[in-house]
Every structure is written in C-alpha cells, then in structure tokens.
Amino acid sequence: MGSIKNFLGLCFKGGILVIFPLLLFYLLADKLFEVFVALATPLAPLFPDLIVDFEDYPAVLAFLILIIASFLLGLALRSKLFQRFFHFVEAKTIAYIPLYKAIKRLFGGLLGNSGKDSYQTGLIELSSGALQFVYIIEESGPYTVVLEPTAPSGFTGFVRAYPTQQVTVLKDVSVGDISKVLAHWGYGSSSILNNVSHVKK
C-alpha cells in the first residue's frame, strides 16, 4: 500500500513540476504578445504590405514591425548628421519626460551599453555580510542612489541612497545579466561573483 501511495505521490509531483511552469510560460508569453502588439500599433501604418501578409498573425506582425523599425532607425543613426539631428530633437522634446529617460537608460543597460545613457550594475555589502545586486540610478555627491531589484521580475524593488564608498560597480556586468540571474532566482550568480575582473575597485 505504501509503495502505491509513494508512486502516486511521485507521479503527482512530477506532473506539477512540468505543468505549472508550462502554464506560467503560456501566461507570460500571452502577455508578451499583447505588449508587442501595443508597441507596434503606432508603427503599423508605415508597413502596409507587411500588414496584408500577416494580418491573421498579429503577434508575428508586431514582432516583425518592431524588428524592422529598430533596424531602420539604427541604420539611420549610423549617419552622424541624422544622429545629431535626433539628439537635438530628443533634447528639446521628450528628454524632459523623466519616464522616457528612465526607460531609455534601462534598455541601454539591458543591451549592455555603458555611459550616461544606461544604468550600471553594482553590489552592496549589507551589515550581515551578504551581497545585494543593485542597479545604479544616480551618483550624487557622497551618496549613490540605487534600485535593489527583487526576484524574479528584476525590475521592481526598493530605491535607496547608500554612501558611495559602500557601492561596488560591476564594470562588465549589464542590467540584462543581473535581470537574467534574478529571473532564475539567483541561479548563475556565481559566474558574476567569482569573476573578480568584473569588479571596479
């Protein structure tokens, strides 16, 4: 009787471990498709032929529009003249919107960019001796403002100001690297923590 009970329990647990991640993945993918469609909607009129070819597949259409539009804009920004024009227009208009600057810096960090247009990553040593991954938001005099991201989302958490000397910058670790680790509940942290070349003293 005990062996049957154990067998049924193992089957149930095994099924749970498969079906719940699949259902969560489905829900996340469904939300992601909705985001793609919402982002691509303002750009759709620029690609009428593409709309005709993929009108029955809105998620695929949205993805293709975003990819093509991003490539074309990136190609245009290779031109110094267009780059200066874009930065001039940006500085005089949408750069005044705090949310725009925050999103731009976040995506810059996700893509591994460095400099003022992207967030850097760092480590905070807590009083217990534990280390906390952080995104460096702003350095202001003796204090550095950071976001302490939480798992598994990686983009929510607590904003705090620490003494600058308490913040260790991870010079070769992007926001994308940290968010990937947090999405896996910390799995992969060792590749960051054990590589001392990443740490800027």
25-58, pLDDT tens digit by residue?
Answer: 677 667 767 776 777 777 777 777 666 555 666 7
CA–CA distance, 153 with 144 (Å, rounded to integer): 23
The model carries a pTM of 0.56
Amino acid at 177: D
Strand order in the sheet with 157-163: 157-163, 143-149, 131-140, 120-125, 167-170, 199-200
3-state secondary structure of 134: strand
132-164, pLDDT tens digit by residue?
Answer: 899 988 887 899 999 898 888 777 888 999 998
CA distances to 4, 6, 25 from 179, rounded to whole Å, are: 43, 38, 17
Tokens of 129: 């001796």
Q: What residue spans of the chain are helical by DSSP H?
A: 2-40, 48-53, 58-76, 80-92, 98-110, 175-183, 189-193
pLDDT reported for residue 76: 73
